[in-house]
Amino acid sequence: MAAAVAPRKCMGLECENNAGTLQCPTCLKMGTDSFFCSQDCFKRSWSEHKAVHKKSNFLTNLFPPKVVSEPDPVTGKYNPFPSYQFTGSLRPVYPLSAPRTIPSSIPHPDYAKDGFPRSEQKFVGRHNVTILNKEEQEGMRKVCRLAREVLDIAAREIKPSVTTDYLDEIVHKACIERKSYPSPLNYMHFPKSVCTSINETICHGIPDQRPLEDGDIINIDVTLYHNGFHGDLNETYYVGEKALSNPDTVRVVETSRECLEKSIELVKPGMLFREPGNVIEKHAKSRNCSVVKSYCGHGINQLFHCAPNVPHYGKNKAVGAAKPGMCFTIEPMINLGSHRDRTWPDDWTSTTVDGSLSAQFEHTLLVTEDGVEILTARLPDSPGGPVPMPTAEKGSEN
């Protein structure tokens, strides 16, 4: 969930602004995307835009939605998209577990009830980057420490045969124990408390009933909302010994880890937001890997996603420079094959277009007066961590 969608153009009539997170409610119900920069732009464009709804209704009647497959009579499990042409071997395993609840005593973000982050829609200007005061910075430190604890708890449960739904339950309970709301839950209607992205999944994987297998890799993306602030991080982990023995698997995971580390070395006051992408892409290419362009790092504070955008690919045109008190994420998504992505019919799970493996790492960062503070830094006992790059691949570093 941490990955922000790269800037998209507003669909407003004769509007050249970048769109925010504001969407047409009718389009959302119909399962289509229509993003606008502001309520005023949406209202001004309504007479033209509503014609899209009639066209979509006609197409829906002409081509009705695909029927889901029948549940297995023994297990009750099924693939909800049997006609979809998956790019790799991964398949969703439904039914999803029942929605998990959060005690009312724990503060909820504004989207918890209906899925719409209205507070984010008030800050659609791409230049509007919040500077946190000392008290707010302490709020970010606290939530990020808690988020690290929750990620480590979930990571310790990774092993073959464990389902991602079980990991979601672990994250959910750990959040409640820390009097925190799991930020992904119902954010733009995301159904779970954590994102779990396996193998060819780039990001935003929905926890389901599929058991992890020896040889898999899995990214766990955790975000907490605590005392009015969001803290966001993720890591990719090896499942079983087979994953560690596969040179290509290790190459993509460790390259992604190193891309994040190298990009963080740049962060200090005055760093241009377009600069990390150059370092990330150069290192990824040196390892014969590609960089996903559809998602980017993002500002984070009292809002889950906000300015600035921090692209991970080279020669991007991101606007702005880092200043003390800014909080944002860097979260490179690195693929073994093509950089291009494709989204499952669940409207969330983003996979590589060619079925190749993808890995990601993320930290929430605070710009200080003379550098950067990694708010979600690993602890001495954090599970996972770097492993040696396969000998056969070392020559490709230069």
Residue 53, class by beta-carbon neighbours within 10 Å (0-12 exposed, 13-18 middle, 19+ buried)? Answer: middle
Query: Tokens representing 299?
Result: 């500002």
241 is an annotated ligand-binding site residue: no
Name the token pair of 311: 């692209």
Residue 254 marked ligand-binding: no
Give 333's strand partners: 360
Q: Any binding-site annotation on 232?
A: yes
Spatial distance between the Cα atoms of 210 and 214, rounded to a whole number of angstroms: 13
CA 293 to chain CA mean position, Å: 13
Q: Rounded to the nearest 5 degrees, what angle is found at the Cα of 241, between the Cα atoms of 240 and 243?
A: 80
Q: Are 230 and 379 in contact (CB under 8 A)?
A: no
Measured CA to CA in angstroms, residue 246 lies from 20, 84, 216, 243 at distances of 41, 29, 10, 5
Tokens linked to 229: 């602030």
Does 204 show up as a binding residue in the annotation? yes
Upper half-sphere CA count for residue 247 (Cβ side, 13 Å): 8
- Report CA-CA distances (Å) from 162 to 168, 182, 244, 316: 11, 21, 18, 39
Instruction: Compute the C-alpha angle 355/387/242, nearest 5°.
Output: 50
Angle, CA 386 vertex, CA 380 and CA 390 arms, to 5°: 155
Encode burial over 343-379: b for 16+ CB neighbours within 10 A, e otherwise. ebebbbbbbbbebbbbbbbbbbbbbeeeebbbbbebe
124's CB contacts (< 8 A; 6+ apart) are 17, 18, 19, 20, 21, 22, 37, 38
Q: Encoding tokens for residue 358?
A: 């993808």
Q: Does 331 count as an annotated binding residue?
A: yes
- At 245, which amino acid appears? S
Known binding site: residues? 204, 221, 232, 298, 305, 331, 362
Known binding site for a protein: residues? 204, 305
Known binding site for Zn(2+): residues? 221, 232, 298, 331, 362
